[in-house]
Amino acid sequence: MNNPLLTSFKTPFEAAPFHQIKAHHFIPALESTISIALKEIDGITQQIETPTFKNTLENLQEIGTLVGRNSNLLFNLNSAETNKELQKVAQDAAPLLTRFQNDIILNETLFKRISYLYKNETKDSLTPEQFTLLEKEYKTFIRNGAHLNDDAKKKLRILDIELAQLSLCFGENVLADTQAYSLHIVNESDLKGLPDNVIETAHDIAQEKDKKGWLFTLDYPSYIPFITYAENRGLRKKLNSAFGKRGFQENKHNNSTIILQIVRLRQTRARLLGYESHAAFVLEERMAQSEKNVKSFLDNLNQKAQTAAKNEWNIMVNFAKERLGIETVEKWDIAYVAEKLKKETLDLDEQLLKSYFSLNNVLDGLFTIVKKLYGLRFIITKEIDPYHDEVKVYEVYKEGKFHALLYTDFFPRKGKRNGAWMTSYKSQNISQRPHVSIVCNFSRPTKTQPSLLTFQEVTTLFHEFGHALHGILANTNYSALSGTSVYWDFVELPSQIMENWCYQSEALDLFAKHYETNEVIPRKFIDKIKKAAYFQQGIQTLRQLSFAYLDLSFHDKNAHLIKAVKNHEKRQIESLKFIEDPPDSCMSTAFSHIFQGGYAAGYYSYKWAEVLDADAFELFLEKGIFDKNTAKSFLENILSKGGTEHPMTLYKRFRGKKPDPLALIRRAGLA
């Protein structure tokens, strides 16, 4: 078989030749490369030499590179450019890869060699990075069943395969429901309040579907503007209802049962490994350390935010009644009323603001900011094969040397899940530079306008680019410790700190330029953007906390008692909401972060990392947002180090102290 996945790629920088790769290539390639990797494992375990860091742990890092590369390709494409055939391949690949991981982790002889190293090597005999790797690998084996008896290991294998497949099913169901619905409008009067570019995009979508009028979908660039600006309250309700029903309808895509299965299997797995709950298992290897600490952190923020949130809600309710004629604010009114209130209170028109944030200008400005901070240069290339015609590829250079490949994928389409994320196609280690990708769902260009971003989309782009920098600037010896391979409640620091530059005049001047006149954004708008950062911070904080509390509740010691997902969700978050969700909507059934992504028992990480980024950026504000020494320190101690040392050690080396928890409270205006 002429299968490109069976060998290293003979391309510039060994970039993936996407157009040569077909769905039917994956399973044969995975089966073959897994077989090779397991034989290489035998090469380690059958040695008669005493285990050393070199002949055991370092050799282990070099095994299965093609397996990792091919699985990354498969699951990244399954998120950004999927179809029925690829989804079937992903379902078939999940048990293969899970068995492979378990064949390594549950290999008794291999574990004995690693255990020998763990007991006999010391910090003095290894570099800090080597010691961290040894500790991480040993804990990975222990935490994933290496110490179990044979019967327990068999149970663990079955659990892991079931969980891998259920997670894929969850994501497929959300995507199917998202794409199955569209709101078809034929009366122009129903478009009242919507911005011209949103209307134009909806018309283009309708034309693509051979329909007259306008089509609005559940993709974020279509959904968010509609519920924010459409004056037709009934249609806002209709679209919001469809959004809230994703994964919660009486069809084959209902995720309710899948959630209960995932939750119970995770708890069973945790208890099999000796933990009280999945949360206890996860948090053992987090900065937060325990469920108690996470709850204390969330409760403290909740206490700080409640008074402000209640006041903000009362203001919004009164405004809706007195100015908009809405007697009772419902879920489909919140974004609409909040936008009207913000416009009147701050005299800030988000649509007018968009004129200063064309995607191309923002991206160019972002490249300039990163060059000023870290000396990176981005050169677009046609030599690298993208996985879709809309994807652009950049060669990244630092000090004249190739440093990384960056793929950018910005617009929604069929086969691409909602949201925004950074991912990696090739990790960094001592012998290779990384290939990273940022994937977003921004508004497409229309026939009359370029892609214009809301300010929230601008911060989203900076956020994902921060993750990308964590990968691009990685400089470690081992992939297992490189880039975003860090504690999950530390991984958001590089992403969230980048958002801060969006609020600084010195940075905005570089990219916030009117797409028609090239006029730099006026100072009065910058002042309003800064004030808008404090707008409804209480309500926004409660919203994030509701996600974090709900996530934790699905993974605590009582998770097995959950009988109905909707009822459980309501009980967990009703104290953090001011209105009830409709009975036919459910947030949990589309909560991809925790049931498809890697944030199970970790959604609190966003708020946790906000404390870190607020505290860290105060140093940039003190020294200057483009201060070379501060940027160099952040690069050398945070971005380049990955997970080579404990995150608090790295953070204190950069900041000179532990993070101040009040930094977030000060920035949010909740003090």
Element (H, E) at 447: none
C-alpha gyration radius of the chain: 25
Element (H, E) at 402: strand 401-409
In angstroms, rounded to a whole number, what is the distance separating the alpha carbons of residues 423 and 387?
14
In angstroms, rounded to a whole number, what is the distance separating the alpha carbons of residues 663 and 479?
33
Do 429 and 476 form a contact (C-beta atoms < 8 A)? yes
**Three-class SS state of 452:** strand
In angstroms, rounded to a whole number, what is the distance separating the alpha carbons of residues 451 and 457?
11
Do 190 and 97 form a contact (C-beta atoms < 8 A)? no
In angstroms, rounded to a whole number, what is the distance separating the alpha carbons of residues 487 and 283?
10
Among the residues of 355-407, which ranges form H helices?
359-374
Q: Which residue has the tokens 């290489």?
A: 40
Q: E-assigned strands of 182-297?
A: 182-185, 214-217
Enter the tokens of residue 230: 């459409």
Q: Minimal CA–CA distance to 164: which of 231, 93, 214?
A: 93
**Mapped to the 3 state alphabet, what secondary structure does 543-586 carry?**
HHHHHHHHHHHCCCCCHHHCCCHHHHHHHHHHHHCCCCCCCCCC
In angstroms, rounded to a whole number, what is the distance separating the alpha carbons of residues 253 and 604?
28
In angstroms, rounded to a whole number, what is the distance separating the alpha carbons of residues 579 and 8?
55
The catalytic residue among 137, 162, 339, 464 is: 464
C-alpha dihedral sign at 99, 104, 109, 114: negative
Q: Which residue has the tokens 């077909």?
A: 22
Q: Which residues contact 156 (CB under 8 A, 6 or more apart)?
A: 102, 106, 144, 145, 148, 269, 272, 273
In angstroms, rounded to a whole number, what is the distance separating the alpha carbons of residues 130 and 111?
17
Q: Minimal CA–CA distance to 475: which of 363, 385, 399, 392?
A: 399
Distances (CA, A) of 155 to 102, 106, 159, 278, 355: 11, 12, 6, 16, 57
Q: How big is the CA angle at 100 (ends 132 and 128), to the nearest 5 degrees? A: 5
Enter the tokens of residue 604: 């609190």
3-state helix, strand, coil in the chain (%, to 5): 60, 5, 30
Enter the tokens of residue 455: 């300010």
Q: Which residues contact 411 (CB under 8 A, 6 or more apart)?
A: 221, 390, 440, 441, 442, 443, 444, 451
Burial class (CB within 10 angstroms; exposed 0-12, middle 13-18, buried 19+) of 622: exposed
Enter the tokens of residue 631: 């940027």
Per the annotation, the verdict on 135 as an active-site residue is: no
Q: Minimal CA–CA distance to 353: which of 522, 531, 501, 535?
A: 522
**CA dihedral in degrees (41, 46, 52, 55; nearest 10)?**
-50
In angstroms, rounded to a whole number, what is the distance separating the alpha carbons of residues 475 and 434?
10
Q: In terms of residues, how long is the chain?
A: 671
Residues with active-site annotation:
464
